[in-house]
Structure 1
């Protein structure tokens, strides 16, 4: 008898949604399921690199773009709403075909609203945002998110339910819906004791043009120092950028064990405050400095919360200078909340009739 097939679909918005699906896919395989991988763009390329032996499906692209000014972000996203809704409808139609084609037993959708099927009763939605922060329209964006979540059989939140948690108000409501389950923080990495090679690891990610804007700013700032820097651009490409500075090593992208080793061998990580990055650095118990994506309220909230908890400092992108990092010594770094095996327990959902 062949293994039960589970479709695992990741949103292509930066690489965080794809990378946090990696431990889920590995756990599915370890428990005897056959994953079918689905996404688009860079996220799909990454998952195909990590899992070259599994079937990979290209989904319709949301084609979400950012503004150059953070203050314009919510209005630009609002203008893209009709296209997003169209993509959701296309996802639904394609998903129904995939259920038939691959005889799917279940679906795990990381923030792809349209990847679910009425033909099966094993539809799981993954998100760390029960509340979607969007300024004055937070109530509306959170209401829409929660309404979509109700359409799924279960919603898995990669965090812990108790007061010691990583997502704060993003992933916690006063009254938790019955279909919401917490699965613990997700990370593909393991903490290893190894010699420190780099003073700082710069870990870039996220949509353009903000990724490139921060890249230029950081290269300029660190170019004036003699600090040992590993600079990971977050681009899955063979294209290289010129670099005449001996103290800065530049990589387009590292994945798997190579990235794990790079983070473990760095004194401190400078990165966006995206939730998947927070989960990874928490698992590795790293000191960090965060620079939220301008206009992205979720990242701004997470960075501010970590600073208030004395885990890690942050600053706005436009205000970043090397001197900002000096205040990092006053912070304790991120903590590992521990592996409670919650994800393994949640997979029992696919065994129940």
Structure 2
């Protein structure tokens, strides 16, 4: 006799722009499973490769790529993005059509889209996940925010992984004066858990983000790390078929780590050096680490977050072109991160799919 199940299938679609959108969807997938939902994951590129490794037993689908590229010079990023708009718009329309087909093909009854603008439907409850309700883009911030919020309104709800009150992480990024947006502040989310284990490394370097900026920073840090006096764990942030490791003096190199390995390694590390991407910030906040940030050149969001955390005396930062290993000495005068410990009511949030 077969048992009946009322489990609903939910599609999770993180944007492939660096790995942050994909990694912060990992706890979302696990939460859905814990609440008796059946997750299907869809993305493209490195984000898709990472999620395949994390969830080899879950159905994985491929979406059209936005093909967002970074210039070698950060000051040219706005122009590069501007010229990419027709290509991105085409991908958004294409993914919207694909979603409509998948709803029937895979009996999908809900969608959670992490910054993929075309992954919504009027036929099933659709949730948009973002920390950038306000999109910083210099002089065009008002226009970028207006367009982004037009897309947010197409979704039934917008989940913001931050706090609503004055004590928050993303500041003006995650807040808006637009009262017509159905925003729900779900608190910071992370795939990691804090563990009290002996320290093994003085410094952990975690690289991430799109090329060529990831590679440029990689080259810079491999030169600088030679003058660091301490034990280092260095993650290149390159998702490949096989995991590779190399020992060079006091520095241990990995091409990538899975979630369990990263959780253990970060807990074992005294200090974290990484980009000031929002997912990375949520991770170090959850694990209550001291961190030093190097924003991706030309990315206003990361520059703003790094500056905000510096002003709050939580974490120092330096621009990529000016970074020297001696900058890490600033860490001693910063207080580091403290986890807010707010519990999210996932049972209530997930009622949107009932």
So what's the TM-score if we normalise by structure 2?
A: 0.96
What number of residue pairs does the alignment pair up? 350
Q: Which residue of 2 aligns with 1:72?
A: 76
Within 5 A, what are the aligned runs for 1:195-274? 195-238=198-241, 245-274=248-277
Q: Structure 1 42/113 Cα, relative in aligned 2: closer, same or farther at 3 Å? A: same
Please say if residues 184 and 343 of structure 1, whose CA atoms lie closer than 8 Å, have aligned partners that are also in contact: no
Contact 1:27 1:344 in 2 (8 A): no
Looking at structure 1, the residues matched to 49 and 206 of structure 2 have their Cα atoms a distance apart, in angstroms, of 18
Cross-structure match for 1:350: 353
Counterpart of 1:174 in structure 2 is 177
User: What's 1:314 paired with?
Assistant: 317
After superposing on structure 2, the runs of 4+ consecutive aligned residues of structure 1 that deviate more than 4 Å are 238-244
Q: 1:163 to 1:45 in 2, by over 3 A?
A: same
* 1:175, distance to aligned residue in structure 2 (A): 4.5
Q: Give CA deviations for 1:153-209 in whole Å, capped at 9, x if unaligned.
A: 000001111111111000012344351111111101000011111111001000000
For 1:95-114, list aligned pairs within 5 A.
Answer: 95-114=99-118
- Give the Cα separation in 2 of the matches to 1:154 and 1:108: 10
- For residues 12-51 of structure 1, the aligned pairs below 5 Å read 12-51=16-55
**CA distance 1:242–1:37, change in 2 (3 Å):** closer
Q: Is the 8 Å Cα contact of residues 292 and 316 (structure 2) preserved in structure 1?
A: yes
> Does residue 88 in structure 1 map to residue 83 in structure 2?
no
Does the residue aligned with 1:105 lie in a helix, a strand or coil? strand
2:10 aligned residue: 6
Give the Cα–Cα distance (whole angstroms) in 2 for the partners of residues 165 and 255 of structure 1: 28
* C-alpha displacement of 1:224: 2.4
* Structure 1 residue matching 2:61: 3-state secondary structure: strand
* Unmatched 5+ stretches in structure 2: none
Give me the CA root mean square deviation.
1.5
C-alpha separation in 2, matches of 1:189 and 1:333: 17
Q: In structure 1, what is the Cα distance between the partners aligned to 2:18 and 2:242? A: 18
Offset of 1:119 from its aligned partner?
A: 2.1
